[in-house]
A and B are shown apart, each in its own frame.
Chain A
Amino acid sequence: MIGLSRPVFAAFLAGAWLLLGSAAFAAEDIVIGAVFPLTGNGSQVGLDAKAAIETEAEIINGHHDIPMLLGQGGGLPALGGAHVRLIFADSQNDPQKARAEAERLITQDHVVAIIGSYTSATAVTISQVAERYQIPYMSSDNSSPSLSQRGLQWFFRTSPQDEMFTQAMFDFFKEIGTKTGRPVHSVALIYEDSIFGSDSSRVQKKDAEAAGIKVAADIRYRANSPSLSTEVERLRAADADVLMPSSYTSDAILLLRAMQEIGYHPKALLAQDAGFVQEGFFQAVGSLAEGVMSRSAFALDATRSRPAITPVNALFHARSGKDLNDLTSRELTALQVLADAINRAGTATNEALRKALIATDIKGADTIMPWRGVHFDASGQNTEATPVIQQVIGGHYRTIFPDDVATSEPVWNVGK
């Protein structure tokens, strides 16, 4: 130090201290667990979910500078730039295995929260385990209403559930009926025989009754059948205004192909999402999908009101080769909301995290979702998640309802 003037030496010391100090305070990773079906039936969705959640982690940890909550990157600011580290586990779509994996993540990997899970059955057991260990379970894409009605304290759901989705569908019917003067008089329900189908159809029947719309057909079918021709014949015989299917990808493909084979073209088709928004479905049915409508929690084309969509989608596409869809966008957002709560909690202890989650109040404009926002009610349900209705126009889903996010005029053939 001979020859260095005192101020320079002081500056040097200060700089060294800051450097060492920040290294000493450099944050440990925040470990978050995710349980999805990564093998077997449903692995297509599970692997997409993995890509989506990894994309969000990359956004949080990296330097992509995206105009949304935690989009500036560099880790979690309130935790010294701590990175989010993900650990994925395979539920194989079995509730007992999902539970074992969730428990393993909590007790061996010490995750601070768990995201899941695609199917309701696995969500039941994962959330039970989470409740036991007092770890938050973030339901990113489970739509069964009963999940948030069990009085659990550690269950949080960012996604809308079936009642909200179906309500949006019937709100849409009301509006379009008034606007065009050609209202819906009858609907035909066709749904697969698992939890998804039974939950969805139950709410649809209830809402149809409340709206004074006749249920012309109520067809529960065997999932993954070799053929759906007979089922489609029954639909044709019912001749309802709107066909409302609740199907996964495999059956959605068969349904549309069978309809074409027998020459049945319903005036309108409004799907309960699921298979109807999957890439595999589009590739398989090609132009048959034109005109198909679906409820959705996400609007890929809402880039004007949600400018973050374009860069986020680009990152997701680079990782998965697909565009964001209704499911992957929700899974991605779930991590974002969780990370935000961890950031606000300032620490990763359970109770602080739970309080931070309860206090969540995010504006829709700060996410990629077309929602009003994210705010959990007492049951852990995000009541600000407002679904949209979309229609395949020109080969892609365009948002047609509600007005404030719509980008296209709907093609409405009912009554023509």
Chain B
Amino acid sequence: MTPALVMQVALGGLLMGLIYALVAAGLSLIFGLMDVVNFAHGELLMLAMYATFFIHRGFGLDPIVQLPIIALLLFGMGVVIYHGLIARALSVRFNRGMVQIFSTFGLAIFLRGAAQFAFGGDFRAINHSWLAGRTLRLATLSLPLPQLAAGLVCLLAFAALMAISRTEFGRALEATREDREAVALIGIDRDRIFALGWGLGCATVGCAGAMLAGFYYVSPDVGANFALIAYVTVALGGFGSLLGALVAGLIIGEVEALTALFLEPSLKQVGMFAIYLAVLLFRPRGLFGTL
């Protein structure tokens, strides 16, 4: 257990944390906007990864180059899903919370089946991207470039989202979240805001998927590997707080890595979940939660 080893693992944890934050960002946005627990978040990630894989295979475009394409694709998908499913779920008068949970759960199963139907059950992977297999070595530390790039994209995405929140659109989002009924009075089309907000959230998870496809495998069930961690990240950071999602992601990634190093790797998720529950004891609304 040398200091170099601990540092390497800690660094890996931070990188992974940034990736968790990126996956969670879209979820946080949607949570914050319309109180929707989207159980299909992992499947949206999976679809983004498949899209990246196939576009790479068909046109040779590197995942990084594909970012705007995938973001746009998932944005469109998000708007479609909103109008097709979520808008109906929100218009329900009774059991709104549960209807959202279970209708998106049905969507998740449907998407998994559709992915298997369309793409087959085999594992796919991109192994000739620009950054694949390259590592930046600083002294004793190894920083794999695909993960590093994902981390950078994460920071950029958060910066972009926070910039958007200062625009008029962002303020409209905020207003709609604060008081759904009243915004109609000041001329904000609630439905349109929700659709755009949902699209934005999906575009963000699309970016995560594109970057993940650069170093992770793709299969119909791959979303499940990240989904629960994403929910915990958002809840730890506090629903509705973008900064919270970022900080929480870093904490989760770090705790996971250190638990795997000092305790038992098979219990590393128990470590991150335990930290989450411990924080909840003192801050029932997460670290920065305002809702």
**Is A–B contact present in the complex under a CB 8 A cutoff?**
yes
Contact B16 A233 (CB under 8 A): no
Q: Is A226 an interface residue (CB 8 A)?
A: yes
Pairwise interchain contact B16-A234, C-beta atoms closer than 8 A: no
B19 touches A226 (CB 8 A): yes
- Residues A233 and B225 in contact, CB atoms below 8 Å apart: no
Least CB separation from B261: chain A residue: A230
Chain A residues near B112 (CB, 8 Å)?
Answer: 40
- B124–A226 CB distance below 8 A: no
Contact check, A230 vs B127: say whether CB atoms are below 8 A apart: no
Q: Is B122 interfacial (CB-CB < 8 Å)? A: yes
Least Cβ distance of B217 to chain A in Å?
5
Asked if A366 CB lies within 8 Å of chain B CBs, one says no
A220-B264, A261-B135 known; A43-B116 Cβ under 8 A: yes
Contact A254 B217 (CB under 8 A): yes
B 1-44 to A, binary, CB cutoff 8 A, 1 in contact else 0: 11001001100110010011000000000000000000000000
Q: Does A286 contact B (CB under 8 A)?
A: yes
B265 near A278: Cβ-Cβ < 8 Å:
no
Given A253-B123, A254-B217, check contact A221 B142 (CB 8 Å): no
Q: Is the CB of B268 within 8 A of A222?
A: yes
Query: Do the beta carbons of A283 and B266 come within 8 Å of each other?
Result: no
Which residues of chain B have C-beta atoms less than 8 A from A284's C-beta? Answer: 123-125, 127, 217
A278-312: which residues lie under 8 A (CB-CB) from chain B? Answer: 278-281, 283-286
Contact A262 B113 (CB under 8 A): no
Choice from B2, B113, B127, B266 contacting A222 with Cβ under 8 Å: B266
Given A41-B221, A222-B265, residue A237 in contact with residue B5 (CB < 8 A): yes
- B68 part of interface (Cβ distance < 8 Å): no
Which residue among A221, A222, A260, A285 has the maximum number of chain B CB atoms within 10 Å of its CB?
A222
Contacts A40-B221, A234-B265, A284-B217 known; A229 to B122 CB distance under 8 Å?
A: no
A47 touches B257 (CB 8 A): no
A263 in contact (CB, < 8 A): yes
Q: Which residues of A contact B19 (CB under 8 A)?
A: 226
Residue of A with least CB distance to B117: A39
Q: Taking the complex as formed, is A193 at the interface, i.e. its CB lies under 8 A from any CB of chain B?
A: yes
Question: Which residues, 108 to 161 on B, are CB-close (under 8 Å) to A?
Answer: 112-113, 116, 120-125, 127, 133, 135, 137, 142, 144
Instruction: Give complex CA distance A250, B133 in Å.
Output: 17
Q: Are A250 and B268 in contact (CB under 8 A)?
A: no
Q: Which residues of B contact A43 (CB under 8 A)?
A: 116, 121, 220
Q: Kindly state the separation between the CA atoms of A261 and B219 in the bound complex, as whole angstroms.
A: 22
**A280 pairs with B266, CB closer than 8 A:** no
A219 touches B142 (CB 8 A): no
Q: Which of A43, A224, A261, A278 has the most CB of B within 10 A?
A: A261
Contact for A250 among B120, B121, B123, B127, CB less than 8 A? B123
- Tell me the interface secondary structure of chain A in the complex: helix
CB distance from B268 to the nearest CB of A (A): 6
B132 to chain A, nearest CB (A): 9
Shortest CB-to-CB span from B151 to chain A, Å, is 12
B144 touches A233 (CB 8 A): no
Contact residues of A between 231 and 246, Cβ < 8 Å to B: 231, 233-234, 237
Taken together as a complex, chains A and B put the C-alpha atoms of A219 and B125 apart, in Å, by: 26
Residue of A nearest to B268 (CB): A222
Residue B260, interface by CB 8 Å:
yes
B220 proximity list for chain A (CB < 8 A) = 43
* Per-residue contact bits, chain A 62-81, to B (CB 8 Å; 1 contact, 0 not): 00000000000000000000
Identity of the chain B residue whose Cβ is nearest the Cβ of A45 in the assembled complex: B121
Inter-subunit contact B217/A221 (CB<8 Å): no
Contact with B along A45-57 (1 / 0, CB 8 A): 0110000000000
CB within 8 A of B122: which of A40, A44, A225? Answer: A44
Q: Who on chain A is nearest to B13 by CB?
A: A230
Q: Residue B113 contacts which of A39, A219, A257, A278 (CB distance < 8 angstroms)?
A: A39
Q: A233 contacts B9, CB within 8 Å?
A: yes
In the complex, the chain B residue whose C-beta lies closest to that of A286 is: B127
A249 an interface residue at 8 Å Cβ cutoff?
yes
Cβ contacts under 8 Å, B103 to chain A: none
Residues of B close to A193: CB separation below 8 A:
266
Residues of A near B135 (CB, < 8 A) are 260-263
Q: How far is the CA of A237 from the CA of B13 in the complex (A)?
A: 18
* Assembled-state Cα–Cα distance A253/B133 (Å): 13
Which A residues lie within 8 Å of B120 (CB)?
44, 47
Cα A257 to Cα B132 with chains together (Å): 9
Distance to closest chain B CB from A2 (angstroms): 66
Taking the closest CB of chain A, its distance from the CB of B136, in whole angstroms, is: 10
Q: Is B229 interfacial (CB 8 A cutoff)?
A: yes
> Which residues of chain B have C-beta atoms less than 8 A from A279's C-beta?
122
Whether A227 is near chain B, meaning CB under 8 Å from some CB there, is yes
CB distance from A193 to the nearest CB of B (A): 5
Cβ–Cβ < 8 Å partners of B261 in chain A: 230, 233-234
B265 & A219 in contact (Cβ 8 Å cutoff): yes
Say yes or no for B269: interface residue by CB 8 A criterion.
yes
B226 at the interface (CB under 8 A from A): yes
Q: Does B16 contact A227, Cβ atoms closer than 8 Å?
A: yes
Task: A222-B265, A254-B217 given; name 10 further pairs at CB < 8 Å.
Answer: A43-B220, A220-B265, A221-B265, A222-B269, A250-B217, A260-B133, A261-B133, A262-B8, A280-B217, A281-B123
**3 residue pairs, one from A and one from B, having the closest CB atoms:** A284-B125, A280-B123, A43-B121
What is the interface of chain A, defined by CB distance below 8 A to chain B? 39-41, 43-44, 46-47, 193, 219-222, 224-227, 229-231, 233-234, 237, 249-250, 253-254, 257, 260-263, 278-281, 283-286
- 7 A-B pairs in the complex with CB atoms less than 8 angstroms apart: A43-B116, A221-B266, A226-B226, A230-B260, A233-B5, A261-B133, A280-B122
